[in-house]
Structure 1
Amino acid sequence: MSSFLRPADAEEPSLTLLPDQAVYRPVSSHLAIAPPVSVVIPAMNEAENLPYVFKTLPDWIHEVILVDGNSTDDTVRVARDLWPDVTVVPQRGKGKGDALISGFAACTGEIIVMIDADGSADGGEIVSYVSALVSGADFAKGSRFANGGGTDDMTPVRKLGNRILTAVVNTKFGARYTDLCYGYNAFWRHCLDEIALDCAGFEVETLMNIRVVKAGLRVQEIPSHEYNRIHGVSNLRAVRDGLRVLRVILRERGSRHNRPARPALITGNAR
């Protein structure tokens, strides 16, 4: 989990073999990292959106894991055309949580980034997430409502529901989140052992956020801008999905998981 910083006026970093044999990848003009980064993209019938998603992914990432939810369009072919080395994982079950768990299991990188396939997230923000992790965070959590973030996609009803559910989690679990139900996050792979995901549906994002706090992992929020889905129609339903999230919150409130929490949020952001 090492990194090095360099002056802004120094020469561009190159891949360098250091005494410990770590190969450093330049990720910005100020930062190079040794840990390989895996990007997990759950997708079902997103062939039209994948060109926009892959276009924003940085070329220094270690691997892309596409979890295909039994697509009936050209999702898999398009992914392979756009990123020839992509690893395609056929989804066995159903639901976003099931897809993410399958994708995480296939990752070989030390850092895992999860991003949606609908074109709503900017892959160029990955550098901010990775910077937070190599600077000391365990979990880099995207937030549309942190200073510098934003959303073009959420309706007033969804914003209100997200605000209420975020407040409940903060109160019940001692968190300090500004956004709860957002699917753009990154973390060290070892965190998976501490949060033990066991949720198949959309509410997996809430479960992750709760268990990260319960496990005492260091969290840093990353301001992120959510754009509108480019093609297709979202499967999100405000009331139905809100109730599913609430059930997860209530279930986790009554269960024990991992060790007592350390401070849940690192102040500031990686931008």
Structure 2
Amino acid sequence: MSPDITQHGVKPQFATLRSLPAIDRYTPLGPHLAIAPTVSVVIPAMNEAENLPHVFATLPSWVHEVVLVDGNSADDTVAVARRLRPGLRVVRQRGRGKGSALAEGFAACTGEIIVMIDADGSTDGREIIRFVGALVSGADFAKGSRYLAGGGSDDLTISRRLGNSMLRMVVNLVYGTRYTDLCYGYNAFWAHHLPVLDLDCDGFEVETLMNIRAARAGLRVHEVPSHERCRIHGTSNLRTVRDGLRVLRTIVREWRREPRPAPSAGATPVADKGAA
């Protein structure tokens, strides 16, 4: 849970949270809010040395660990990351592609909650509290949406917007979901649900695969408004047509695949919309 901690009806200040006898195992998020679960943040990166100072500056101080998955960068990505965050965990990616990077990063996490963000500056680490809030309030999987009130994008071209909308409509029709966004890389989930997500793809279709498998497993999915920003430096490896076809093939493949049930059955497969 995410308790708004009170004692005799009076909300304590930040300085008194740790002084309460039963609070030692909680992580303070603010003056009146603390959580018990530990949070790991996974950042796949390849040649993102120029962007990492901005990305790391947005990460909350209460994050338990940051796992950087380095896709064999030719620049100083790893050195910059280690300088910015002492205690950083670095995973040298063995495979290729974003899907492979995330799978390897997730496997290295020790936190009870896993959050995935991008290394190009398009996702804001200050929004992590929204995703964690959704999970500790009862969700199994928190997915970012650029289309909810409070969300948005500075980087969606007409072709990307159209492709995302068409693919989202197909997923909602085939799988009975009510997702407002599909191909977006800001998501969070409880680590014990990793087996049902069972990532086995290499590319940008990974977000769609996670959304489909979360729904098919009966996980309670909560959509969180998120604002996508433009990449700060460098160019994206995303190719709209090529990667759109990969997403479509993933949708068809998953439709033919036997779903793997979640450890706890009975949760709704549709998305709850709104901020936590």
Question: 1:113, CA displacement in angstroms?
Answer: 0.2
Query: Which residue pairs with 1:5 in the alignment?
Result: 4
Instruction: Confirm whether residue 81 of structure 1 aligns to residue 83 of structure 2.
Output: yes
| 1:132/1:269 contact within 8 Å kept | no
Query: Which residue pairs with 1:234 in the alignment?
Result: 236
In 1, the alpha carbon distance for the partners of 2:137 and 2:212 equals 22
**SS of equivalent residue, structure 1 residue 35:** coil
Query: Which residue pairs with 2:101 in the alignment?
Result: 99
Question: 1:216, CA displacement in angstroms?
Answer: 0.1
- Structure 2 residue runs of 5 or longer lacking an equivalent are none
Residue 208 of structure 2, aligned match among 190, 206, 209: 206
Percent identity, aligned pairs only? 63
In 1, the alpha carbon distance for the partners of 2:194 and 2:109 equals 11
In 2, the alpha carbon distance for the partners of 1:109 and 1:158 equals 33
**SS of equivalent residue, structure 1 residue 88:** strand
| 1:22/1:34 contact within 8 Å kept | no
Question: 1:195, CA displacement in angstroms?
Answer: 1.9
Amino acid at match of 2:124: D
Instruction: Confirm whether residue 218 of structure 1 aligns to residue 216 of structure 2.
Output: no
* Structure 1 residues 90-115: Cα deviation after superposition (integer angstroms, max 9, x where no partner): 00010101000000010000000000
Query: Which residue pairs with 1:191 in the alignment?
Result: 193
In 1, the alpha carbon distance for the partners of 2:193 and 2:207 equals 14
Residue 245 of structure 1, aligned match among 220, 244, 247: 247
Query: Which residue pairs with 1:264 in the alignment?
Result: 269
C-alpha RMSD of matched pairs (Å):
1.7
In 2, the alpha carbon distance for the partners of 1:121 and 1:135 equals 22
Give 1:1-271 correspondences, 5 Å limit.
2-6=1-5, 10-12=12-14, 14-15=17-18, 19=22, 23-259=25-261, 262-265=267-270, 267-271=272-276
- Structure 1 residue runs of 5 or longer lacking an equivalent are none
**SS of equivalent residue, structure 1 residue 27:** strand
Question: 1:22, CA displacement in angstroms?
Answer: 5.6
Aligned length: 269
Amino acid at match of 1:108: T
TM-score (norm 2): 0.93
| 1:17/1:23 contact within 8 Å kept | no
